[in-house]
Amino acid sequence: MDNDLTQATADYAVRLGDDALILGHRLSEWCSRGPFMEEDLALTNVALDYIGRARMFLGYAAQLRGGECTEDTLAYQRDCREFTNLLINELPRGDFAFTMVRQYLLDEHSLLFLDQLGRSSDSELAAIAGKAIKESRYHQRRSREWMLRLGDGTEESQRRLQNALDDLWGYTPELFLMDELETALYELGIAVDRAALQAPWQAAVHSVFSETAVTVPSGGWEVVGGRTGYHTEHLGHLLSDLQFVQRAYPGCQW
């Protein structure tokens, strides 16, 4: 690989690692706060899968970047503007319905995305995707079930489900946005064509919506910016927690 391509691939791996790290952190916030014990275990296990996924992507990016870069410097020593995760991952965990609706929307996306990334000409990205998709199948099975349970539940669970979907909907278009970097890597067979995932994703989520009482939001608004480092005000607060120890005791190890 020539140097420009190596760096572009590293940037791509950082994006995917940031998505996993930030969502994994949000899920980990449920530890000891789950609605009941089994659900507490499930949320934190899914969080762990995402942290593992982040380590694989960021570790690979660090290896490509070389020098002093490690998965830890990427996770703990960058500031908001350097994070490139999609905005939907950083939104506060909200109530249980919000967490599960976000998870469901992202799980359906992950299944499509990782299936494609598994065919990447970059063998390391393909291997990570091959590993992660097996976990996402379990995640989706559970989040889909929660969509149906909340949708079939009480007036309150339906209201919370609907509110969550309304609040999240405008963050979903960013999942399908291609930019110069990803387009160039896609043309080389490395990256996934996100735009092509939109139709099958819509079909999957609409089929679940149709089994519940929710009304599909009409859209009309969208927020983007994560890939260029323009984040919501929530990311800084998240990082102050995630990076606390390294900021208080730089370089600390245990």
Partner 1 sequence: MVNTQPCVSGSTIPLLPHEEYERRQRRAQSSHPELWCVLDAVKDPEIPVISIWELGVLQNIEREGETVVVTITPTYSGCPAMDVIREEIATALTTAGYGQHRVLTQLSPAWSSTWMDDDARARLQAYGIAAPVAGDVRSDPACPHCGSVEVRSISEFGSTACKALFQCLDCREPFDYFKSF
CB atoms within 10 A of CB 51: 17
Least distance in angstroms from the C-beta of 181 to partner 1: 24
Closest CA to 183 of 173, 175, 168, 193: 193
Rounded to 5 degrees, φ, ψ at 5 are -70, -40
> Is position 41 an interface residue for partner 1 (rule: CB under 8 A)?
yes
Tokens for 54, please give them: 């982040």
CA 195 to chain centre: 17
The window from 42-50, 77-85, 150-158, 210-218 that contacts partner 1 (CB under 8 A) reads: 42-50
> Is position 48 an interface residue for partner 1 (rule: CB under 8 A)?
yes
Which of the residues 134 through 153 are near partner 1 (CB under 8 A)? 134-135, 137-138, 141-142
Q: Is 56 helix (H, G, I), strand (E, B) or coil?
A: helix
Return d(Cα 169, Cα 167) in angstroms, integer.
6
Q: Which is nearer to partner 1, 130 or 170 (CB)?
A: 130
Least distance in angstroms from the C-beta of 48 to partner 1: 4
Q: Which is nearer to partner 1, 46 or 197 (CB)?
A: 46
Q: Which residues bind partner 1 (CB under 8 A)?
A: 24, 38-39, 41-42, 45-53, 55-56, 123-124, 126-128, 130-132, 134-135, 137-138, 141-142
